Amino acid sequence: MSDKKVQKLLHITTFGCQMNDYDSGRLAALLTREGYTLTRDKEAADLILLNTCSVREKPEHKVYSFLGSLKEIKKENPNLIVGVAGCVAQQEGEKLLKKVPLLNLVFGPGEVENVAALVKRAQAGERLAATSLGALGRQIEPELPPDPGLKSQVTIMQGCNNFCTYCVVPYVRGREYSRPAETVLAEARGMVEKGTREIMLLGQNVNSYNDAESGLNFPQLLRRVAEIPGLWRVRFTTSHPKDFSPELIEVMAEVPQVMESLHLPAQSGSNRMLKAMNRRYTREHYLDRVELLKKNIKIAALGTDLIVGFPGETEDDFADTLELVRQVRYDYSYSFKYSDRPFAKAADFEDKVPEEVKSERLARLQELQTSKSLELHRELVGRKLEVLVEGPAKRGEALVTGRSRAGRAVNFPGHPSLFGTLVTVEITEARINSLMGRLVKPAQGE
């Protein structure tokens, strides 16, 4: 009998956000403990899990396309267990089992910790949907991946209480729950002991973090994480503008291990649209926080999320969004056409924007953002930036790549011996999505 038959092989495909990446890592760790070995080869797998996203319509469509691609594999291996996890699983539940006959198992974000027991039930012949959100985020102990890598992620909270009118997240990930600070810190320490040097703290809204046991809020937790010996860099995402506090800006300015990058979703530059979206802040409040950030932090890099074509959006509303992009000068933005989502209140709104108008506005917005990204990058030519070298560059022989403190991708000629080290790079060329440079020694900060 071959080794392939003896081993239990697990394949995981992940769609969506960094929270899903983290959940997939936990699924892998929990199932590794049950004797599974990860494989990239779907055809060799005994268990295939698809971790899904339903925040927008397009990722949801990808789910059905992926499952369709498994028909022949399932036909060749009838004992293969196929499961769908994540937000589409939570949203659709048993309906997904009815739509896709090859599925054995459907389970939502709140059932991640129970994956081993659920898989065993599926192996016993049960087709089941498990969508309780009661245990969401309540890990009893940290479950570290075998090799967390140079850069790792730690979820500090789950769920959302904001109920933006376009968003499905509160319905598929439940209400906010903050993990105990000591559990977060223990997980982060364990990753650093295994070689991690940069940690991204994750939450639907990290600014809402509040540990009931210790009383720590997010800025205080951030300080504690940054104190872990051997940890060089800490980042976090995502921040809600209404909760982004001066205290957090103070920590970002004072603590060297906290990076000068921030993802602050605006969604729109129009106060009328922000009110319709139930964002609970104004354009003026948002710009006030941005001004305070830039006043206190050198070379702060800002990213955002923007929606075009929200129901009722006029050309004047869209013009306000374009002006916001010009005024803030984002390093990058993730921009999307509005789409109706299940459970979300805006799905029932009238005055929907025609698809062709949404597409035209998205193209104009992305063209503006491209010009702003290149403009900001050109201002960095000649500057020396601290870079954490991550590995070989995707393009270009003898090039290595890494990230600056502000999160900018930097490519430069270098040797593999630099992987996993902090170096200083002088920027020689600006590109839209990255910077080119040359190595300077010794390493210095931005």
Domains detected in the chain? 3-130 (3.40.50.2300), 136-259 (3.30.750.210), 384-440 (2.40.50.140)
Q: Which of 7-16, 83-92, 245-254, 433-442 has the highest mean pLDDT?
A: 245-254
Q: Could you tell me if 346 and 373 are in contact, meaning their C-beta atoms sit under 8 angstroms apart?
A: no
Given this model, what pLDDT does residue 26 score? 86
pLDDT for 141: 54
Q: What is the pLDDT at residue 22?
A: 85
Residue 20: closest CA among 114, 98, 99, 89 = 89
Is the model's pLDDT at 144 over the cut of 70? no
pLDDT number for residue 20: 82
Token pair listed for 272:
């009328």
Q: Is the per-residue pLDDT at 347 higher than 90? A: yes
- Checking if the pLDDT of 49 tops 70, the result is yes
Residue 52 has pLDDT above 50, yes or no: yes
375: enclosing H helix or E strand: helix 355-378
Beta strands in 242-337 (DSSP E): 261-263, 301-308, 332-337
Confidence check: pLDDT of 210 > 90: yes
Rounded mean pLDDT, 184-202 = 96
Of the CA atoms within 13 Å of residue 441, those in its CB half-sphere come to 3
pLDDT band at 3 (very low <50, low <70, confident <90, very high): very low
Residue 300: what pLDDT? 86
The percentage of residues in the chain with a pLDDT greater than 90, rounded to a whole number, is 78
Asked if residue 114 lies in contact with residue 107, where contact means CB atoms within 8 angstroms, the answer is yes
Query: How much is the mean pLDDT over the chain?
Result: 92
Q: What's the mean pLDDT in 184-199?
A: 96
Least confident of 129-143, 379-393, 420-434: 129-143
80-88: average pLDDT: 93
% of the chain at pLDDT higher than 70: 93
Q: Which pLDDT value is given to residue 19? A: 81
- What residues form the annotated binding site for [4Fe-4S] cluster? 17, 53, 87, 160, 164, 167
CA dihedral 246, 248, 250, 254 (to 10 degrees): -170
Angle at 304 between CA 268 and CA 334, to 5 degrees: 90
Q: Under a CB-based contact definition with an 8 Å cutoff, are residues 166 and 273 in contact? A: no
- What mean pLDDT comes out for the span 326-350? 95
Picking from 165, 152, 150, 156, the residue whose alpha carbon sits closest to that of residue 137 is 156
Query: 276, 282 in Cβ contact below 8 A?
Result: no
Q: Over the stretch 221-232, which tens digit does the pLDDT of each residue have?
A: 999 999 999 999
Query: Picking from 4-8, 92-96, 151-155, which range would have the lowest pLDDT averaged per residue?
Result: 4-8
pLDDT at 56 over 90: no
Whether 212 has a pLDDT exceeding 50, the answer reads yes
Confidence of residue 54 (pLDDT cuts 50, 70, 90): confident
Q: Is the dihedral of CA 419, 422, 424, 430 positive or negative?
A: positive
At 134 the pLDDT is 63
Confidence tier at 445 by pLDDT (50, 70, 90): very low
Average pLDDT for residues 292-297, to the nearest whole number?
A: 95
Binding residues are 17, 53, 87, 160, 164, 167
